[in-house]
Structure 1
Amino acid sequence: MKKKKNLRILLIVICACVFWVGYQLLKGNGTETDIEQGVKHPNVVIIYADDLGYGDISAYGVGKLNTPNIDRIATEGIRFGNGYATSATCTPSRYSLLTGQYPWRNAKAQVLSGDAPFLIDTEQPTLPKILKNAGYRTAVVGKWHLGMGDGYVDWNETIKLNPNAIGFDYSYVMAATNDRVPNVYVENGDVVGLDKTDSLKVSYKKNFEGEPTGKANPELLKVMYSHGHDMSINNGISRIGYQKGGKSAQWIDENMADTFLVRAQQFVKQRSDNPFFLFYALHQPHVPRVPHPRFVGTTGMGPRGDVIAEADWCVGEFLKTLEQEGLMENTLIVFSSDNGPVLDDGYLDESAEKVGDHTPAGPLRGGKYSLYDAGTRVPFMVMWKDKIKPGVSNTIISQVDLVASLSKLTGQTVPQTDSEDMLDVLLGHSQKGRESVVVEGLYHRTAFRKGDWILIPAYEGTKKVSWGVDNETGFGYDTQLYNITDDIAQRNDLAKQMPEKVNELMEEFRIILDDN
C-alpha cells in the first residue's frame, strides 16, 4: 500500500515537471499557443530619420542643435556610440533593415528612381512578415523608396506590389523621396486624393509636352536647385524626374511632417488584443528641406536645422500619443538614421552657409555617400520604459541586426541572413556586440570594421562626390587602415606602417564578401 502511494506521488511529480518544461518551451518559442495563453509581446516602433548625422542629436554631445524629444529616447534607454546603418545611402539601408541582408548582396539595392520596380523579393523573409507571424499588426508610414510595381506602374490604378506585399497590413508612404517624382502619397497601393479625370503620368526619361521645369522656368521656383533637381515642379520646387497630371493628389511639402505624424498616431491608437509593429520613416532632413511655418527660423541654421527641429517635435508628439494611450510601458522604441549627413544635396537652402559651428557628423570623417565612418555610423538608440535600464553602450551593432534580434524577442525562427542576434545588447543585458561589420558607400563599394580597426580597400574614383556634393567618397588608389580608438577622425592612415594588419583584415573581409 505504501509502495503504491509513493508511486502515485512520483507520477504526480513527473507529470508536473513535464508540464512545466513544456510550458517554458512554448513560452520561449512564441507559437500561436503562446499567444492564445495570453503571453503578450511588446509593441515595436522603429523611428527612422533620413540623412541625420551622428552630431545632429544633442544627446551625443558633439553638435549644436537641440533635440530634447529624441534625446529622451537616449536618456531613458540606451544610446549606442557605435551603431551602424549598412549603407551611406538610403535605399540600401532600408533594404537591409527590413530583410536582414547586406545590400551589396543584391545588385539592385541602389538608390532607386520613383518609378523603380519593387526591390524586395516577396518570397524572402522580412521584418514585418516575421512580426506578423508572431501575431503583430504591422504598418509603415513615411518614406518608402524600395520600389513599386513590377516595372511599369499605372499610378491611376491600385498598385499591387506595394509595401503590403512584404508583410505590412497598412502602408501610407511616399513612393521614393521628397526630391523625386511622383510627389504623391500612396495608401495601401492607391494614390491618395487622385482625381481619375486628371490621370497621373511619370517618366524618368523625358518631359511631358508643355510641362514647366526648374531648368526652363526658374521664375516659378520658391526653392532654387543647385545641381540635378531641375525637372518637374510641384509646390514651387523642382525635382528629379518628370510628372504630369494628378494635381489634386500632389503633396504640399510644408504639411508632410504633420501628414505622416497623424497617420502614425492613428495606427497606434487602434484598439486590438494584438501587439503592433510600426515602421515610422521620417522624411527629415532629406532635401528639399521645407519645414512647416511653425519651425521656420527656430534654429538659426536655415532649413536643414529647422527640419531637424520639426522631426524632433514629431518624435515628441508621437511619444505623447503612446503615453496618452497607455502604451509606453509595453513598447520597444528604436531610433536611428538611414545614413550620415549632407549639407548641399541639390538645393540652394544655405545649409552650408548657416551651419555655423554645428558639426552634423560630430567628430567623424565623411558623411552621406562616404566609406568613411560618418557615412554609416549614425544615431542609434533604444528605449523600453521600465524594461531597459538607461545607459550608454559602445559595442558595435548594425541596423541589419534588427531582423534577428526582434525575431528572437518575439519567439520566431531567426532567418539565416547577415543579421546577428543582438537582443541582449539592445535590452542592456550584454556588452558583447558584433565582432565586425561591413558597410557600404557608393556603387556597392564596401569597407570593413573589426573591433577598433577600419579597413577601406583601394577603389578607383573621385575623392569627392562627382555631382557637386561636398562630401568625401573614401575612394583612393591605396588601401587605408585606421584605428578609431586613437583616431576617431580617421586622419592617420596606418596601412603602410602595418601591412600585416592590413593582410589579416583583408583575408577576413574577403571571406565575408565571397560568401554571397
Structure 2
Amino acid sequence: MRKLNQIISICILLLCFSSAVNAIAAPNIVLIVADYMGYSDIEPYGAKDIRTPSLNAIAQQGIQFNSHYSSAPKCIPARASLMSGLYPRKAFKKGRGFVAERNTVLKGLKDANYRTALIGKWHLGLSEGRHPNDHGFDYFLGYNSWALSRHSHQTSDGKNGLYENKVPVERAAYLSDLFSEAAQEFIAAKSERPFFLYLSYSAGLPPYQGPDLARENWDSGWDATEAKRSEYVAMIERMDQGIAKVMQQLERQGLSDNTLLIFTYDHGGRHFANSGPLFHGFDTLWEGGIRVPLLVRWPNKLAAGKRINEPSIIMDVSASILDAAGQNKLIESTDGKSLLLKDKESFSDRAIFWKNKSMKAARKGRWKYLQDGYTQFLFDVSADPGERNNLFYSRQSKLKELSELWDAWEHSQLSD
C-alpha cells in the first residue's frame, strides 16, 4: 500500500509539474495589423522610399509569406474574418453584425486564460454585444470609425472618436505614438498569465498627417488630392518606429523568445499606396486589393529568414493564434489552417475564395480565377502577379474548374 501511495504521489507531482511547464510555455501573442497600405510600402516587400527597419528585422528573424491574402478588400469584413476565423458572410450574425459569439479567437484565448488587449482601430461596432470589452478584450484603447485624425483624434465628421474601454477620452499624442505607448504599458504590466495584444494601427488611412504638423493644420489631410506621398511616408515610418518600441519592450521584459509576433494588413490601399507589382487596390478583388504582407516571428520555434510562396488567407492567422494558445479544437470550426503546422501539404492544393459586389475570385495553387463585372479572367499569379496576361482563351478547362469550385463555395456560404 505504501508503494502504491508513493506511485500515486509521484504521478500527482509529475502532473502538477507538467501543468506548470505548460502554463509557463504558453506563448504571448502580439498581432499587429496595418490598414489601407500598398503591398510594396514596407521594405521586406520592396519599398524604396519608406524605411521600415523594424519590419525588416521581423522578416529576417521569422517567416515571410509572399502569397498571403485578406478575405475581403475592405475593413469590416476582413476584420470580422480575422476575429472569427470565418469567411465574411459566415462571420456576421444576420441583423446583428459581428457579435461576440462569433469571435472564435477571443473565445479560445479567454478559455486559455490569456489577458487580452485591443489597442487601435476596431471598426466592428461599439453597441452592446459588439464592443471590444463584450468580445473578451480586458482592455481597449482605440476607436471604431473608419479613420481618426492623427492629432485631434476626431472622426471625419468632426466628432471625438477615441475610447478607453467604454468611456470617451481625450489624449494629447500623435495617434500612432499613443497606440505604441499603450502597447508597451500593457506588455510591461506584471502578470503570471500569458497575454494577447491586438495592436491595430491605422497609419495608411486619411487624414494624411505627419507627426510634426502645426496645430492650425490639424483638420487637413482628409482630401487625398490636397495631400502628398511624403506625408503618407512619414505616417508609415512612425508606425514602424512604434513597432520597434514594442519589440524593445518585449526584450526588456525578457519575453521575446516566448512571444509569437505577427504583422499583416487588413487589405490593400489606394491614393498614395504603392501596390507594385500588383494591380489595382482597395475594394477590388484584383491582387492589389487582397494580397497583403504577412510576417511571423517566433524565436526558436519558427525558422528565421524563411520565405513561403504557397497561398494563405487571413483566417489562417486566426487558426495560428488558436494553435499557439493550445486551442486546436476550435480551429476545426474555422475556415483557416494553422500556419504553424509542419505539414505543407495541407496548404499546397487548397482553394480560397472571395466575393465583393459584382466581383468574384478563386485561387488554387498558382491559378487565380477572377470575374470583374461581366468579364472573366484567368491568371497564373505566380508568374504574373500583376495580372496582365489573361489566359481565359487558352486554359478553358482550368477556368471552368475554378469557376465551379467558386460556385460550390458560394452555395456553402448561404446558410447562417
Asked if these proteins are the same fold (TM beyond 0.5), I'd say yes
The code of the aligned residue for 1:401 comes to D
1:69 equivalent to 2:54? Answer yes
1:19: how far off?
A: 6.2
The equivalent residue for 2:131 is: 162
Change (3 A) 1:495 1:19: farther
The equivalent residue for 1:318 is: 246
Q: Is the 8 A contact 2:117 2:139 kept in 1?
A: yes
The equivalent residue for 2:301 is: 387
Correspondence for 1:139 among 111, 117, 126: 117
The equivalent residue for 1:93 is: 78
The code of the aligned residue for 2:51 comes to N
The equivalent residue for 2:268 is: 340
1:287 equivalent to 2:203? Answer no
TM-score under structure 2 length normalisation: 0.84
Correspondence for 1:422 among 314, 338, 350: 338
The code of the aligned residue for 2:30 comes to V
Looking at structure 1, the residues matched to 234 and 345 of structure 2 have their Cα atoms a distance apart, in angstroms, of 36
Change (3 A) 1:191 1:123: same
1:485: how far off?
A: 2.4
Correspondence for 2:313 among 398, 421, 426: 398
Looking at structure 2, the residues matched to 34 and 482 of structure 1 have their Cα atoms a distance apart, in angstroms, of 50
- Structure 1 residue runs of 5 or longer lacking an equivalent are 1-7, 28-32, 110-116, 151-159, 193-248, 344-350, 352-358, 458-474
1:440: how far off?
A: 4.3
Looking at structure 2, the residues matched to 290 and 118 of structure 1 have their Cα atoms a distance apart, in angstroms, of 35
Q: CA-atom RMSD, angstroms?
A: 3.1
Q: Is the 8 A contact 2:104 2:330 kept in 1?
A: no
1:129 equivalent to 2:115? Answer no
Change (3 A) 1:322 1:419: same
Change (3 A) 1:37 1:286: closer
The equivalent residue for 1:410 is: 325
1:369 equivalent to 2:266? Answer no
Moved segments of 4+, more than 4 Å: 106-109, 428-432
Looking at structure 2, the residues matched to 403 and 106 of structure 1 have their Cα atoms a distance apart, in angstroms, of 13
The equivalent residue for 1:44 is: 29
Deviation track 1:162-216 (CA, whole Å, cap 9, x = no partner) reads 1011111111111212254543211111111xxxxxxxxxxxxxxxxxxxxxxxx
TM-score under structure 1 length normalisation: 0.68
The equivalent residue for 1:306 is: 234
Task: Give 3-state SS (helix, strand or coil) of 2:102's partner.
Answer: coil
Q: Is the 8 A contact 1:409 1:423 kept in 2?
A: no
1:274 equivalent to 2:193? Answer yes
Looking at structure 2, the residues matched to 65 and 123 of structure 1 have their Cα atoms a distance apart, in angstroms, of 40
The equivalent residue for 1:203 is: none
The code of the aligned residue for 2:270 comes to V
Task: Give 3-state SS (helix, strand or coil) of 1:290's partner.
Answer: coil
Looking at structure 2, the residues matched to 315 and 187 of structure 1 have their Cα atoms a distance apart, in angstroms, of 21
Task: Give 3-state SS (helix, strand or coil) of 1:433's partner.
Answer: helix
Looking at structure 2, the residues matched to 293 and 61 of structure 1 have their Cα atoms a distance apart, in angstroms, of 26
Looking at structure 1, the residues matched to 180 and 211 of structure 2 have their Cα atoms a distance apart, in angstroms, of 13
Task: Give 3-state SS (helix, strand or coil) of 1:449's partner.
Answer: strand
Task: Give 3-state SS (helix, strand or coil) of 2:264's partner.
Answer: strand
The structure whose Rg is larger is 1
1:176 equivalent to 2:145? Answer yes
Looking at structure 2, the residues matched to 77 and 274 of structure 1 have their Cα atoms a distance apart, in angstroms, of 25
The equivalent residue for 1:188 is: 165
The equivalent residue for 2:384 is: 487
Change (3 A) 1:68 1:510: same
The code of the aligned residue for 1:483 comes to D
Q: Is the 8 A contact 2:92 2:99 kept in 1?
A: no
The code of the aligned residue for 2:353 comes to V
Task: Give 3-state SS (helix, strand or coil) of 2:292's partner.
Answer: coil
Change (3 A) 1:370 1:291: same
Deviation track 1:381-434 (CA, whole Å, cap 9, x = no partner) reads 001123222111112111111222222222222244443232435xx7747526
Q: Is the 8 A contact 2:145 2:161 kept in 1?
A: no
Looking at structure 2, the residues matched to 101 and 175 of structure 1 have their Cα atoms a distance apart, in angstroms, of 21
1:515 equivalent to 2:406? Answer no
Q: Is the 8 A contact 1:63 1:360 kept in 2?
A: no
The code of the aligned residue for 2:182 comes to R
Looking at structure 2, the residues matched to 293 and 90 of structure 1 have their Cα atoms a distance apart, in angstroms, of 28
Change (3 A) 1:312 1:125: closer
1:55 equivalent to 2:40? Answer yes
Change (3 A) 1:108 1:371: farther
Change (3 A) 1:436 1:35: farther
Deviation track 1:322-381 (CA, whole Å, cap 9, x = no partner) reads 1112111111000000111211xxxxxxx4xxxxxxx71121111111111111111100
Aligned length: 385
Task: Give 3-state SS (helix, strand or coil) of 1:302's partner.
Answer: helix
* Identity rate, percent: 30
Looking at structure 2, the residues matched to 178 and 189 of structure 1 have their Cα atoms a distance apart, in angstroms, of 18
Change (3 A) 1:37 1:500: closer
Task: Give 3-state SS (helix, strand or coil) of 1:320's partner.
Answer: helix
The code of the aligned residue for 1:162 comes to H
Looking at structure 1, the residues matched to 264 and 394 of structure 2 have their Cα atoms a distance apart, in angstroms, of 36
Q: Is the 8 A contact 1:140 1:173 kept in 2?
A: yes
